């Protein structure tokens, strides 16, 4: 056991002390926050490039009615200028020309002409403006023909926007505000992280075994350490590297989320509220928008807090470790049984297929986490590390969790026994192409 601990310590410290490990471990949480927050921030910013759209309206229904934005203007032109622009577009100094045909109400079609491909934002903006104006005109026509007084107000009063909140009943009937969206997000991220780490660090185990075997270093190590001790130390050491990385990410993520909660819940909202008492109405509207944005961030953090984080984190650690040991044992045995990458890739596919299958069925499981398909894939040991983590945020019966854990642990014991048999024989075998028949023969060898 002491020899296994020495190998474990060597595998762990060798990888943890690498600069690449330290940089990536510290950098990834901030990159995830950046890639999450930055697109949201950029999506709220309008394009600061001034654009003028020339409008030739054959119907005269839309003259001076197109609502403009801060950076998008509409300039209405006559037919002769429109024809000149079609002949020489650059002479008009316009971003694009909108042609509204005389029969637009029957064909529901208009043209946007430019010497370049217009952006999707401009296209959507113009479509929305035209649709809104046509709908309003039709609405007013119906109201005028009906002869019903105040029909417009009555119709407007029928518009309803229902916001459905989810309430989860805990023990003793205690009501807890839930969030289906947050459960989906946490489940997906948990399952994807397990998939990514099991794949990455499992490959690391296989590569490490193959390098030691091809360089013949393993012959020196085996002279003083049993093959099973070597495999055990290597798998557990590399597994602890991944667990260390995840633990650091959890701590950094908690710290970042706490900082965001303090900023948006305290300073951000307070500053906006103080500003509203001294600034102009336009700035007050901007401050109100900022407060609304802050409230959305707080709602997200509250939704996370209402999840059973203790159970989720505990199960994540277990399924991360168990899933890694399961697949790393198999990959380590593949590395011991092969001499080159080509043979290793061929033998890896049957082992990796359940893991790849798990990640491809995440969305069907998220859509129906209580279904028979989700249940059985969360019990089957080769897919349970990922699928069960997807189901847990939605709530899983305790007996299902116990069955999944027991089945997974039993499978791990059998996998370690098989991997130990393959590792013991294959680690010192060179120059022979191994097939399934040969591996079955190794499993029958007596110690």
Question: What are the pLDDT digits (tens) for 111-168?
Answer: 888 887 788 888 888 999 899 888 888 888 887 777 777 777 776 776 666 555 555 5
> What tokens appear for 186 in the block?
């946490």
Radius of gyration of the chain (CA): 32
Mean pLDDT over the full length of the chain = 76
Banded model confidence at residue 293, pLDDT cuts 50, 70, 90: very low
Confidence of residue 223 (pLDDT cuts 50, 70, 90): low
Count of CB atoms situated within 10 Å of the CB of 243: 18
pLDDT at 182: 73
Domain ranges of the chain: 51-149, 181-260+308-443
Q: In which band, very low, low, confident or very high, does the pLDDT at 286 lie, cut at 50, 70 and 90?
A: very low
Res. 180 pLDDT band, cuts 50 70 90: low
Q: Is 57 helix (H, G, I), strand (E, B) or coil?
A: strand
With a pLDDT cut of 70, the percent of the chain lying above it is 74
Which range, 77-86, 284-293, 433-442, has the best average confidence (pLDDT)? 77-86
Q: Which among 33-37, 57-61, 67-71, 421-425 has the top mean pLDDT?
A: 57-61
Q: What are the beta bridge partners of residue 167?
A: 177
DSSP reduced 3-state for 374:
helix
Domain 51-149 CATH class label: alpha beta
390: its two tokens: 């997807």
pLDDT band at 284; cut points 50, 70, 90: very low
Tokens of 361: 């069925």
Using 50, 70 and 90 to split pLDDT, how confident is the model at 210? Answer: confident
| Per-residue pLDDT, 162 | 57
Place of tokens 């990834």: 28
Q: Are 224 and 3 in contact (CB under 8 A)?
A: yes
pLDDT tens-digit profile of 370-423?
888 989 999 999 999 999 988 888 888 889 999 999 999 999 888 888 887 777
Outline where DSSP puts E strands in 179-272: none
pLDDT of residue 274: 43
Q: Which of 81-85, 274-278, 304-308 has the lowest mean pLDDT?
A: 274-278
pTM of the model: 0.61
* Of residues 82 and 176, more confidently modeled: 82
């Amino acid at each position: 056991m002491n020899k296994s601990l020495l190998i474990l310590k060597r595998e762990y410290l060798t990888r943890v002390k690498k600069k690449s490990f330290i940089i990536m471990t510290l950098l990834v949480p901030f990159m995830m926050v950046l890639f999450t927050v930055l697109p949201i921030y950029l999506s709220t910013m309008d394009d600061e490039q001034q654009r003028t759209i020339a409008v030739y309206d054959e119907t005269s229904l839309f003259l001076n009615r197109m609502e403009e934005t801060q950076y998008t203007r509409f300039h209405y032109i006559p037919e002769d200028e429109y024809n000149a622009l079609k002949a020489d577009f650059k002479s008009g100094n316009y971003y694009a020309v909108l042609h509204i045909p005389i029969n637009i109400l029957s064909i529901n079609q208009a043209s946007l002409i430019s010497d370049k491909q217009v952006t999707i934002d401009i296209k959507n903006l113009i479509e929305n403006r035209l649709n809104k104006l046509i709908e309003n005109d039709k609405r007013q026509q119906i109201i005028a023909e009906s002869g019903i007084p105040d029909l417009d107000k009555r119709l407007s009063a029928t518009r309803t926007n229902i916001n459905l909140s989810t309430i989860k009943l805990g023990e003793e009937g205690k009501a807890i505000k839930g969030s289906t969206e947050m459960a989906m997000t946490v489940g997906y991220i948990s399952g994807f992280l397990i998939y990514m780490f099991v794949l990455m660090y499992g490959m690391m185990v296989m590569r490490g075994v193959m390098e030691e075997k091809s360089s013949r270093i393993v012959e020196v190590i085996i002279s003083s350490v049993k093959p099973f001790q070597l495999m055990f130390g290597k798998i557990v050491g590399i597994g602890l590297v991944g667990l260390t990385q995840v633990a650091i990410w959890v701590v950094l993520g908690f710290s970042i989320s706490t900082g965001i909660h303090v900023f948006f819940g305290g300073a951000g909202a307070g500053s906006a509220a103080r500003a509203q008492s001294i600034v102009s109405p336009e700035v007050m509207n901007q401050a109100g928008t900022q407060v609304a944005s802050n409230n959305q961030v707080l709602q997200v953090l509250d939704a996370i807090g209402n999840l059973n984080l203790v159970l989720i984190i505990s199960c994540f650690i277990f399924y991360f470790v168990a899933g890694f040991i399961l697949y790393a044992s198999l990959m380590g045995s593949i590395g011991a049984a092969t001499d080159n990458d080509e043979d290793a890739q061929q033998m890896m596919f049957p082992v990796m297929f359940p893991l790849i299958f798990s990640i491809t069925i995440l969305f069907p499981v998220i859509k129906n986490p209580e279904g028979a398909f989700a249940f059985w894939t969360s019990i089957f040991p080769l897919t349970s590390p990922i699928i069960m983590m997807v189901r847990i945020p939605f709530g899983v019966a305790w007996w299902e969790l116990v069955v999944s854990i027991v089945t997974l642990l039993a499978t791990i014991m059998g996998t370690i026994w098989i991997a130990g048999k393959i590792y013991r024989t294959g680690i010192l075998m060179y120059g022979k192409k191994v097939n399934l028949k040969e591996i079955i023969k190794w499993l029958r060898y007596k110690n």
